[in-house]
Structure 1
Amino acid sequence: MSDFDEDTAFLGQTGPYFWTTFFLLNTVFISTGFNGLYMVFIGSTPKHRCLIPDVNLTEEWRSAIIPAKLVDGQIVESQCSRYSLGIVRNLSENGLVPGKDVNLTTLSQEPCLDGWTYSKEIYQSNIVTEWDLVCDDQWKVPFASSSLFVGYLLGSLISGQLSDRFGRKKVVFVSLAAQCVSVLLQSFSHSWRMFCLMFLFVGASQISLYISAFVLGTELLSKTMRVIFTTLGAFLFYCIGYMTLPWIAFAIREWRPLLAVLATTSIIYFPLWWLIPESPRWLLTQGRRDEAEDIVRDAAQKNKVQAPGIIFKEVEVSILSDAKKYTIVDVLRSRNIRCITLMCLVLWMAINIGYFGLSLNTSNLSGDPFMNCFLSATSELPAYVVSTWLLKKCPRRPLLSVFLLIGGGVLLLIQVIPETLQSVALALEMTGKFGFTMAFGIVYIYTAELYPTVIRNVGMGLCSSAARVGSITAPYVIYLGSYNKVLPYVVMGSLTMTSCVVNFFLPETLNKDLPETIDQMQQCKGFCSRPKKGKCVENGTNGSVSLH
């Protein structure tokens, strides 16, 4: 039986059809960059202090009612407590002067019973200022971020099945509509709980959109265009959306209008329904040969080539539609697949903790948060370009290890940078982001090459779920910084170094044939392998990244 690429070889490797499809699909990824990290701004905690109600206090006592202490040579006011208002009011009425007649350290303190007052220097409003997510309730901010990534996890688990059942194109546009509606509804949230609930739907729709569009692109494009799409196109256009986000947030400083604007940008993509075709590969698996041939003939017309009279034979379509359906059980059935899968899970989880940890931490860096976010996004551009070039020539395993070492090493180094050298710390953080972005791009391709065609979709979905667990954890890793600033860097750096060690036990895939069946998979190295007659058998993979 010939494969799809052989049957459609007459289309060529490039041409108007492939380039048009390439750019139209990639524009969809811009919306995922818009909506993926707006929590950096709407969940940022501005400077705040206890609200002092309008009571009879002298100016001296109104200025002194907030406790202060010396931190790194600077006077820092408390953000979560004040001197007891009743006591201060009595002292003020008796004409006593703070610091002169009264020793402030002897006064009792109380929490911010009347709420907080927030600086509007950067943000006019966000979820922190609206629902007072500070002090005892500051844990609600990372929880809200994690609810987005829980949605990612749910979307990763169901999008594959929905795509296989209803078609790639339908899932892409349904997910696009769901993303638009859920972000818009989130902008009308009347409580933190409703905000988190809507964030689940935002995450599920967004990852479903990304995965289904990614798979649709790999199945529609030729081998040459597919490699560019999966290694550069999808990531690069996501980055364009990510880079645009801080400028939109800079222009709109209130969180509700910001989300409404981000939601409505998705509307411009719906006319693409009439321009982007369904996957002919999927149609063939459903036995819909005529529809698949119509799409291929239209592609031939656009590429100005002659299509043969019969493109797909009936017997081939019948065999394809009756092929065995593999499940997650098959990914865990043998010792070798289990070992490779477990190591890939560790890699995906650690890389996502580092990537999203650094992405979400940009609002905590010194300097302008909008510029920091833009620089963080910009650092990804060269990473995607360089990784695409390196993947054509370099072995995957040592390449991934190098960038894991860069990312993890930088994280461990940042903690020793003095407070006075903030520019150096920022440069190191951007270097770490570059390393994790490189690792992020490489692990996608590496994993796709490790799994055989029959379980590649299932294996990638499982790894994507592990990545979601990592991204769910990332906000809490950043939250550790509220106790000790160096803790997030130590945790993320240590996890990255551990994953670098794990990576050494995976087989190499450069210039190897892409495995089609489970028996053709390579054997993992070291303790996982069970070599026969003293040596390990290697069935290779190549640089193709087809997910069909």
Structure 2
Amino acid sequence: MDRVDSSTEEEITVPLLLSVDEIIEQSIGRLNFTQILQIILVSLPSFFDSQQTFISVFAHAQPTWHCTGSNTSCASNSNLCDLSKTEWAWDSGNVYTSIISEWNLQCLGSIIAGMPGTAFFIGCFLGGLLLATLGDSSLGRKNLLCISSLVMSVAALASAFSPNVWVYSVFRFLCGIGRAPVAICALVLLTERVSKRWRAQAAMAGFVTFSLGILGLTGIAFLTRDFSWRTLYLWTSVPGIISSVLCYLFLYESPRWLLMQGREKDAMAVLRGLGSDTIISPSLLNAKTEQKLPKTNPFISLKILLSRRWAVKRLIASMLLAFGIGLIFFGMFLGVGNLGFDIYLTSVFNAILTLFSYLLTFLWWIQHCNRRSSLLGFCTISGATCLIFSVMGTSHKGILISLEIVSLFCASMANNLVLMYMVELFPTCVRNSGSSLVRQAMILGSVFDPMLVMLGTKNIIYSYGTFGLVMLLCGFLVLWLSETRGKVLCDTMEEQELVDQDTKLLF
């Protein structure tokens, strides 16, 4: 046994060799005020992430219109594309509250009208593939989070000055590239800087702020409903830029990642900054738990991940599962206009519903329920109810809204669980890469949502029917994955293999 002496830290006796997890647990096992402030700071980008993700609900909405003159061929239920421009006008007059009215996209088909939304999600997908591994290698969690958030907000600000739909789609694509790593970086950073006891509660903060961002977006959209859609972008992008700068100035890096990179002094500084009274010296780190990634190759973590057969199988099953969940989760939010209800009230209600699902997930469900069985149940219920009300149509309003509530709630629970599940499935050395790839599969599912939503304006079975069917099929893939409830976070591939072999869960 060795004794660690320091004038600023408590004198303690520790074992000669410790894992990274043991060092973190013993150094910052208690949650203090500084850690709470850091949790809030890490969660800020998620607030603006949700706003840029769902801003199209309002900026791309079909504006209301009215007939002009006394032409009897024009009626409120007429198809605009069958009428002459002199027979009708937008209710907003010369104020373009949507890109649909400003650029006359109402009759150009689902591909052109849905192009900006699709471009955004394609950017999210490609951005995740290109940037995901940087969080494990050269940039680290903090820098990638701040840079991504800044790029997302700057591109959103530029979107407000777009002269046409083509330039606008380019800026939405760049915005998607920027926001791609935000959610997973925030989740990984939140879970890696607290002890196992507080992991679920810390992760919940990012999800809660995501819901609050949707509520904030809906409030801003309602207050600016009589103004140009460009105003909505200004009010959501400028605060996002300020938030990115604050995060860069005051946010701490993950001590786990610093230790895995061999930056012991920086890790000690972070632990002190987090207000730890007892700091275990990294010199006691078990050499077998170190897996330093060469800084010359930013994609080395991806190479390590794909070098193990069990990891590849785990990754494929996780990505297909996430694809189905992403398709229905984002699609149900973006498709609220197809249900025939007020988009402001429906968006608020959906945000509150998901907020409740976040609280339920992280305050109770994560601690008491298995990941696999819960995901299977929620995916099955969400997919089945979505299929049912898509076949019924919009004629039965009461039944429709009831089934939509059930389907969205279960999709939200599945979305919450799968993101937390992915953090637990992969070790520290590849956690950001593995989790990000799974997240990108979720985003890939959402790439098809804008076009499906536009098709759903004719018949909701084209949108919600597709959501439900894919969710049902992909949900059963969770049976291929290992149960992770109550297990420690592993740090290296070797350690993960040993843990899985001990529990007979390795593929």
TM above 0.5, one fold? Answer: yes
Contact 1:14–1:224 (8 Å) recurs in 2: no
Does 2:204 correspond to 1:188?
A: no
Q: Which position in structure 1 is the counterpart of 2:47? A: 30
Which sections of structure 2, spanning at least 5 residues, go unmatched? 1-16
Q: Which position in structure 2 is the counterpart of 1:531? A: none
Contact 2:314–2:481 (8 Å) recurs in 1: yes
Q: Mean Cα displacement is larger for which, 314-323 or 35-44?
A: 314-323
1:124-162 Cα deviation digits (max 9, x unpaired) = 521000101112344223221111111111221233333
Of 45, 49, 71, which aligns to 2:62? 45
Q: Which position in structure 2 is the counterpart of 1:11? A: 28
3-state DSSP of counterpart to 1:135: coil
Q: Which position in structure 1 is the counterpart of 2:14? A: none
Shift of 1:316: 6.0
Q: Give the TM-score, by structure 2 length.
A: 0.85
Contact 2:381–2:407 (8 Å) recurs in 1: yes
CA gap of 1:249–1:453, structure 2 versus 1, over 3 A, is same
Does 2:51 correspond to 1:76?
A: no
Shift of 1:193: 0.7
Contact 2:379–2:414 (8 Å) recurs in 1: yes
Q: Which has the larger radius of gyration?
A: 1
3-state DSSP of counterpart to 1:379: helix
Distance 1:132 1:286 in 2: 53
Does 2:169 correspond to 1:201?
A: no
Does 2:238 correspond to 1:264?
A: yes
How do 1:112-511 and structure 2 match up within 5 A? 112=84, 117-120=89-92, 124-163=96-135, 164-230=137-203, 232-253=204-225, 254-269=228-243, 270-299=245-274, 302-303=275-276, 305-307=277-279, 311-313=281-283, 320=290, 322=292, 326-333=300-307, 335-388=309-362, 389-417=364-392, 419-511=394-486
Contact 1:183–1:202 (8 Å) recurs in 2: yes
Question: Structure with the greater relative contact order (CA < 8 A, sep ≥ 6): 1 or 2?
Answer: 2
Shift of 1:372: 0.8
Distance 2:488 2:34 in 1: 28
Shift of 1:337: 3.5
Distance 1:76 1:384 in 2: 40
Q: Which position in structure 1 is the counterpart of 2:5? A: none
Contact 2:110–2:455 (8 Å) recurs in 1: no
Distance 2:372 2:189 in 1: 27
CA gap of 1:313–1:115, structure 2 versus 1, over 3 A, is farther
Shift of 1:348: 0.4
3-state DSSP of counterpart to 1:117: strand
3-state DSSP of counterpart to 1:165: coil
Shift of 1:288: 3.1
CA gap of 1:40–1:282, structure 2 versus 1, over 3 A, is same
Distance 1:508 1:307 in 2: 32
3-state DSSP of counterpart to 1:80: helix
CA gap of 1:277–1:503, structure 2 versus 1, over 3 A, is closer
Distance 1:167 1:445 in 2: 20
Shift of 1:306: 4.8
3-state DSSP of counterpart to 1:63: coil
Q: Which position in structure 2 is the counterpart of 1:528? A: none
1:255-274 Cα deviation digits (max 9, x unpaired) = 01111111112244233434
Distance 2:463 2:209 in 1: 29
Distance 2:110 2:472 in 1: 30
Distance 2:434 2:143 in 1: 23
CA gap of 1:199–1:273, structure 2 versus 1, over 3 A, is same
3-state DSSP of counterpart to 1:13: coil
CA gap of 1:208–1:500, structure 2 versus 1, over 3 A, is closer
Distance 2:268 2:502 in 1: 40
Contact 1:48–1:117 (8 Å) recurs in 2: yes
CA gap of 1:462–1:44, structure 2 versus 1, over 3 A, is same
Shift of 1:331: 4.1
CA gap of 1:286–1:116, structure 2 versus 1, over 3 A, is farther
Which sections of structure 1, spanning at least 5 residues, go unmatched? 53-58, 69-74, 83-111, 525-535, 542-548
CA RMSD of aligned residues (A): 3.1
Shift of 1:472: 0.3
CA gap of 1:523–1:485, structure 2 versus 1, over 3 A, is farther
Contact 1:172–1:209 (8 Å) recurs in 2: yes
CA gap of 1:114–1:518, structure 2 versus 1, over 3 A, is farther
Contact 1:507–1:522 (8 Å) recurs in 2: no
CA gap of 1:492–1:128, structure 2 versus 1, over 3 A, is same
When you count helix as a share of all residues, which structure comes out higher?
A: 2
Distance 2:292 2:493 in 1: 16
CA gap of 1:116–1:336, structure 2 versus 1, over 3 A, is farther
Distance 2:487 2:191 in 1: 19
1:367-425 Cα deviation digits (max 9, x unpaired) = 32111111111110121122221221222111111111221111112134464431331
1:499-537 Cα deviation digits (max 9, x unpaired) = 23322333333345655536855999xxxxxxxxxxx98
Q: Mean Cα displacement is larger for which, 496-505 or 329-338?
A: 329-338
1:302-359 Cα deviation digits (max 9, x unpaired) = 35x2546xx2218868983646885445544555444332221211000000001100
Contact 1:220–1:279 (8 Å) recurs in 2: yes
Shift of 1:19: 1.7
The amino acid that maps onto 1:507 is S
Contact 1:345–1:463 (8 Å) recurs in 2: yes
Distance 1:236 1:462 in 2: 23
CA gap of 1:419–1:15, structure 2 versus 1, over 3 A, is closer
Contact 2:260–2:429 (8 Å) recurs in 1: no
Q: Which position in structure 2 is the counterpart of 1:109? A: none
